Structure formats: C-alpha cells, structure tokens
Amino acid sequence: MSSIVELSSLEELTLNAEQIQDDLLEKILRLNSNTEYLRRFLHGSNDKELFKKNVPLANYEDVKPYIERVANGEPSDLISGGPVTRFFRSSGTSGGKQKIFPVNDEAIEQLGYVLALRSLVMSKHFSDNGVEQGKTMEFHYTKPESTTPSGLPVAAAFTSFFKSDYFKNRPSKSQYTSPHQVILCPDNKQSLYCHLLCGLSQRDEVVRFGATFAHALVRAIDFLESNWKELCGNIRLGHVSEWITDLGCRSSVSAIIGGPNPELADLIEQECSHKSWEGIVTRLWPKAKRIECVLTGQMAQYIPILDFYCNKLPLVSTVYGSSESIFGFNVDPLCKPQDVSYTFVPNTSYFEFLPVDHEGDMTSIVDLVNVKLGCYYEPVVTSCFGLNRYLIGDILEVTGFYNNTPQFRFVRRKNMVLSVETETTTEDDILKALARATFVLESSNLMLMDFTSSADISTFPGHYVFYWELKGKEVNDVLVLDEKTLMGCCYVLEESFGSTYRLKRRTGLIGALEIRVVEQGTFNSLTDYFISRGSSRAQYKTPLCINSSEASAVLENKVLARFHSEKSPPLDL
C-alpha cells in the first residue's frame, strides 16, 4: 500500500476495483497458502478458484484455536505467511464477546491510509481549494496494551493506531487541538478533561469537531456540562487542575493554555451559563463547520441529540471498519446521516459478499464488484494477516456505485435481535422504532441521552424492556417524567415493530413493552462496566440489546420509573 495518499487515488481505486481485488487475492494467497490453516484446503496451491471452491466460510470459533496458538507462542505461519506482531481486540459491545485478531504494522498503515484518503475527500467538500485551514478537535483515547502469553501486544485498533510510529510520523499531519500526550494518557477521564481544556483554549481555530463514534462525542458534551466551571477556572488562572496528574498531559496542556486568560474564561462562562444548551457546540466553537464521527448503525440514536447540541451543523458519518479490516468511507460527506453509504476501499482486504437470503447455498457468494443494487449481504473478509473467508456478522445493503465500486448502507449486526417468542426484532427495527418514539419525546422537554433494550422472559408472557436515560433540555432541569408522553412512546415503539410482534402482543403471547427510565449517569456506569472488562473507550458502542445479567444489573440498580402502554398496537398499519 502506497504511503502517498492523493485525492486521485480514490478515482484509481474505485475505477479499478476488480483488478485491485484480484491482485490482492493473488498476493494474499502467495503469502498465506502454506499456512497450517490454508494447507488443509489448498495443499499449498495459490489457485484463486480453488480458494473459492475449497476454503469454507469461517466465524470466530473456527479460527480461534489457531489465533490462540499464535497468541500462546507458536509461530505466526500457522495462520499468516507474514509476521504477526500484534493483535487487535474488538470492542465486544457490538457483537457480543471480545475477540482478538492477528495483525502487523501493515494493518495500522491500512487504517492510516483510509483515514487520510477520507480526510482529503472531506477537505474537497468543505473548502474551496481542497486545503483546509484550522484545527480538529477530536476526542480520542487509548488504553494500556495487554500482552499475549507470548508477549505480543493486544489493543483496540485505534489504540494501536494512535500509539504507532505511523501516527507519530504520519505524512499529512492534521492539526489537532490536543497534543499527542492527551490521546496517550492511560486515564481516560484525564484525557477527556484535557481534550476539552485544549479545545476551549483554541476555540477560534477549531473548524472540525468529532470523535471516532458518536457515543464518545455525546459523552464529552455531557462531561463539559458538568465540568465547565472548573475548566473556565483553569483558563482564567492559566493553571491546570491538580487532579490532572499525568505528567505528559500536565506539561503539554499547560503549554497550550499559556498564561491566565480571564477574557476567554468570561466568554466561555457566559455561553455555558445559558439555561439551554441548544447549539452549545457552535456557540463555544463558532468556526466549526462540521461534526465528524460514525453515526450509522448503533450510533444513529445520537443524531437528534447531536443536532440539538450542534445547531444542525453538518453531521458527517465517516468510516466503516472493524478490528478484522477497514472497509470503506463516506465519499459524500454532505448527505444526511440517515442516508450515509460507505464506499469500499478495494486495496485493504479481499471482500466477498454472502447474500442474506442464501438459504444455505454458499455458492451464491459474490465478489465485491458483482453485488447487486438493492440486495442485502454479509461481508466476508480475507485479510493479509490470516483471516480467510471470515464472516463479519454485519448486514449491508447495496445502495449504489462510485465508479465501479459498490457503496453500502449499514443495516444492522446479524445476530443482535430481540425476541421473547418466535418473533425477531432486529437492530434496524429497534432503531427505526426508536426514531419514531424520540419524535414523540420531542413534544416534551426531554431528550434521550442513551438507551438499550433486553428481552425479559423471567415471567410469562415475556416482554421487551427499554432502558432509557433521559435529560431535560434545559440545564439543571429537574427530570419531570410525563406519564402520558412516556406511555405514548411505549405505544409508538410497539406500533413500529413487525406484524408477528404485533399479532403476538395482541393475542397475549408477548407482554406490554416497558420503558424503564434510569438515573442520569447510568449509561456512564454501563460504559465503565464494559471498559473494565476490556473494551476501549474509543471504540465503545452501547449495545442495542443486552443479554448479560451483570450488565443488566448495572441498569436495574438505577431504575427510576417504569412505563408501559395500556393498549396493544394495531394489527394493520
């Protein structure tokens, strides 16, 4: 992969996707066909047709024994012809359990390449001459790496990226408001505070505002709401709070805030003291032109609240990737976040697509350039680092083509469904229903900060439970839960679900859906719970459905009130 990233690369890649994919598969097979894993199916052959005929589709359980053997010190060539020098750890909050995937520095370069190409596309859309001035204020975090028994580092992809020499020496350095030390700080609360302090100190230079996932952005604004007085105090006196004990953060942030700045502190104080925080981002960072973060899939729930805080600045959903591979990015940044599709980048991994309705016919799998418009597929990845025909577990819809390369809408995770009877309510169903329910909420003074759901089958009939964390639109509002509105939300959620759900609900096989409103800060506790179990803050995604009893307990302990609708949803809409 070239280290030089130019805007013209996007045209070259997307025009020649078929050839690039073909060459990539050839390269991968030359490198990996003699691994213990592939030898079983290919007997050392590099033949691409044989690869497609003989190598089975795999999920994590199939490759786990090999990955674990390498992690325990056996040679890399069990799974990969190239060296395995580290592992990426998945967040485990989108698809269940955490997993680790073998990689080396080339995976970090791939990620860097796609991020740099994406930045060039953004600059093309948001500046007259393709060159953007100003700084980026982004909330990035890292976590200390763990090591495998054989001593190889294990970390989330973004932690590995930000800690890498590639990032330090990256060819095109976008100007972040935060110094590298803040991203590298192992204490994420100190990082967050320092990100805000640096961003506020340089408020006139900030033109881009974001995070990897929308969740991190919403949490950052929430933290600002609780801590702005202290931040202003630091700016006023030119002194970083004593609890920022990380030496790298202290010295680098002190240098950025410079000396005392009472005028700036007054200005920020004035904006933050407004009773309503509507548009707070544009008021504090008046030159910000866009918000960048992932806003599709599980992150779509944060669109209304970001619209509220950011005064309808363009919300740009950026990249689509996973610990297994980076897939693609959004080449049309000005489209609405609800309409985002991702254009696959054909030189990262070899991609195949399994139609959702394959009905057991595995030969219906197609190459990247052969997917059909309007059809739904699960991506299957063959990476340079030892994954072969690996099922990613996401469902995507083909929405168009950029040159010869398909573009996909993220639909949902494959296995994340709510079900208490025989009905299945998918992530997509949940998010669509939620969007309608938040519309009902709009009429009240409440905003939905975060949510998750679970299927309660402890009693008959089983029913769906939605945990909602709500907040008043005005700062320090006492939370007044209007029963009629919340019952209305329950009704709209149920009304939006599929016909099987509604039928079973009417016939009493499914009980009334419940909204359980939890105390403010509950979802922070849930995040902390998942992070204590190994997730990284940067890649954290609140699961749309919870099925672990420990995670449920975090929520159950904080329930303030329960609501359900008194009428069943209609059968016909």
Residues that bind ligand AMP (CB under 6 A): 90-91, 94, 294, 296-297, 320-323, 392, 394, 410, 413, 539
Nearer to ligand AMP, 91 or 452 (CB): 91
Nearer to ligand AMP, 305 or 316 (CB): 316
**C-beta of 75 vs 534, nearer to ligand AMP:** 534
Beta strands at 206-213 and 290-294: parallel, antiparallel or unpaired: parallel
Q: Which of 322/426 has CB closer to ligand AMP? A: 322
If the CB atoms of residues 220 and 295 are measured against ligand AMP, the closer one turns out to be 295
Find the residue with minimal CB distance to ligand AMP. 297
Question: Least distance to ligand AMP from the beta carbon of 41, Å?
Answer: 25
Give the shortest CB-23-to-ligand AMP separation in angstroms: 25
CB of 548 to ligand AMP, least distance (A): 16
Shortest reach from residue 91's CB to ligand AMP, in Å: 3
Two tokens, residue 413: 């995770």
- Residue 296: is it exposed, middle or buried by C-beta count within 10 angstroms (0-12/13-18/19+)? buried
Q: Is 101 left (phi over 0), alpha (psi -120 to 50) or beta?
A: beta
Q: Closest Cα to residue 425, out of 535, 569, 558, 305? A: 569
Instruction: Between 87 and 223, name the residue whose CB sits nearer to ligand AMP.
Output: 87
Q: How far is the CB of 392 from ligand AMP (least distance, A)?
A: 6
Closer CB to ligand AMP, 132 or 324, in the complex: 324
The two tokens of residue 440 are: 């009902």
Measured from the CB of residue 315, what is the shortest distance to ligand AMP in angstroms?
A: 13
Cβ distance to ligand AMP smaller for residue 167 or 193? 167
Q: What's the CA gap between 16 and 550, in Å, rounded? A: 49
Decide whether 202 or 536 has the Cβ nearer to ligand AMP.
Answer: 536
Asked whether the beta carbons of 88 and 160 are under 8 A apart, the reply is: yes
**Buried-state track 76-112, b at ≥16 Cβ within 10 A, e below 16:** bbbbbbbebebbbbbbbbbbbebbbbbbbebbbbbbb
Residue among 103, 100, 40, 95 at smallest CA distance from 68: 100
CA 259 vs CA 182, 195, 237, 238: distances in Å: 19, 18, 7, 5
Closest separation in Å from C-beta 179 to ligand AMP = 25
Q: Which amino acid is at 63?
A: V
Q: Which is nearer to ligand AMP, 209 or 540 (CB)?
A: 540
- Going by the DSSP 8-state scheme, the letter that residue 434 receives in this structure is H
Q: Is 144 exposed, middle or buried (0-12, 13-18, 19+ CB in 10 A)?
A: exposed
Task: Count H helices and E strands in the chain, helices first.
Answer: 20, 23
Q: 248-271: buried (b, 16+ CB within 10 Å) or exposed (e) per residue?
A: bbbebbbebbeeebeebbebbbeb
Q: What is the DSSP letter of 58?
A: B
CB 99 within 8 A of CB 323: yes
**Least distance (Å) between residue 340 CB and ligand AMP:** 8
| CB of residue 484 to ligand AMP, shortest distance in Å | 34
Q: How far is the CB of 502 from ligand AMP (least distance, A)?
A: 27
